[in-house]
Amino acid sequence: MAFVAKNKPNDVPRQVKKPAAATETERVCPRCKSKLDVGKLWENRNVCSCGYHFKLKARDRVALTVDVDSFEPLWEDITSVDVLEFPGYENKLELSRYVAGEADAVVCGRAKISGRPCILFAMDPFFMMGSMGAAVGEKITRAFELATEEGLPVVGFTVSGGARMQEGLISLMQMAKTSAAVQRHSAAGLLYLTVLTNPTTGGVTASFAMLGDVIFAEPGATVGFAGARVIEQTVGKKLPQGFQTAEFLLAHGFADAIVPRDEQRWAIGNMLKLHAVSA
């Protein structure tokens, strides 16, 4: 049974609303409430002067991270299929392809960072909140398999609502599939670095996101397994301030460092260099 298909480039979405972002020239920072010019915000890598990190498209992540002209995308046409005929999924896929401009919720490729070659993946928050179905799982798995074969490190930016429920058990199995591929890459003695960005939750946190040899987190990012609302309902109490943030993760020993967006390129490059010297 095939659960992923190649995307047909001429797919025209049946029902799409015009994305609000397309007409925006100004955005409001959810933290400090100041109004920000979209162009100026972009010049600052979509980070407000108060330090709030706005979401980034996968391609923009890649552009901000890799050496100029070094990115060679891989498996760009892999996209999920609505195998379960799940209510509304077909439409959601089409809408997401249009809004995110991607075939599915992750972009993979070969890249160089600070001159060091690596396999890079970046998840896309604008494609069904970066949720992991068969296509995402397949591309992440291929990224690790290729890196293992070629002896390369893997650098990954995670952002995800978790497993994509519209694909049922097959999406759950992607957690096992990707983790198994990480295991082989790790057993080959190769470096895996993750950057956890806002938000990284559910089945992605509980699989490849937390398996990095080195784990960076973006300031203020929400990172956790269970959703805050579910926890609140379960325990019947208000959650403590700063619960499930990058800073919370660092304090409890689950991240190596909090790295702001403007330092990521250097910090990743540095890590790649530190692991490129053989003893």
Partner 1 sequence: MAKAKNKSTPAYDRVRAARGGKRPTGLDYVKGVFSDFFELHGDRAFSDDAAVAGGIAWLYDKPVTVIALEKGHSTKERSKRNFGSPHPEGYRKALRLMKQAEKFHRPVVCFVDTAGAYPGVGAEERGQGAAIAENLLALSGLRTPVLSIFIGEGGSGGALALSVADEVWMLENAVYSVISPEGCASILWKDASKAPEAAAFLRLQAQDALEMGVCDRILPEKGLGSRAFYRDLSRLIYDKLTELSALDAEALVGARYARFRQFGTGA
Are the beta carbons of 61 and 157 closer than 8 angstroms? yes
Q: Is the peptide bond before 9 cis (omega within 30 degrees of 0)?
A: no
| 134 binds partner 1, rule: CB under 8 A | yes
Which DSSP string corresponds to 126-192? TTGGG-B-HHHHHHHHHHHHHHHHHT--EEEEEEESSB-GGGHHHHHHHHHHHHHHHHHHHHTT--E
145 vs 186: CA distance, rounded Å: 11
Residues 6+ apart with CB under 8 A from 169: none
Angle at 53 between CA 153 and CA 274, to 5 degrees: 25
Q: What one-character DSSP code corresponds to residue 261? A: H
| 250 binds partner 1, rule: CB under 8 A | no
| 231 binds partner 1, rule: CB under 8 A | yes
Pick the stretch among 32-40, 100-108, 224-232, 264-272 that binds partner 1 (CB under 8 A): 224-232
| 157 binds partner 1, rule: CB under 8 A | no
Q: Cβ 115 to partner 1, closest distance in Å?
A: 30
Q: Which is nearer to partner 1, 118 or 182 (CB)?
A: 182
| 213 binds partner 1, rule: CB under 8 A | no
Work out which of 176, 188, 257, 274 binds partner 1, going by CB under 8 A: 176
- Residue 164: HSE in the Cβ half-sphere, 13 Å Cα cutoff: 30
Q: Which is nearer to partner 1, 99 or 182 (CB)?
A: 182
Work out which of 42, 94, 225, 276 binds partner 1, going by CB under 8 A: 225
| 42 binds partner 1, rule: CB under 8 A | no
Q: Cβ 81 to partner 1, closest distance in Å?
A: 9
Q: Is 244 left (phi over 0), alpha (psi -120 to 50) or beta?
A: left
Pick the stretch among 36-44, 52-60, 181-189, 265-273 that binds partner 1 (CB under 8 A): 181-189
Work out which of 29, 165, 250, 276 binds partner 1, going by CB under 8 A: 165
Q: Helix, strand, coil shares of the chain as percentages rounded to 5? A: 40, 20, 40
**Contact mark string toward partner 1, 77..116, x via CB under 8 A:** -x-----x-xxx----------------------------
Work out which of 16, 29, 74, 211 binds partner 1, going by CB under 8 A: 211
Q: How far is CA 61 from CA 82, 123, 136, 253, 271, in A?
A: 28, 9, 17, 26, 18
Contact positions toward partner 1, by CB under 8 A? 1-6, 75, 78, 84, 86-88, 133-135, 137-138, 141, 163, 165, 167-177, 179-180, 182-184, 186-187, 202-203, 205-211, 223-227, 230-231, 234-235, 237, 239-240, 243-244, 248, 252-254
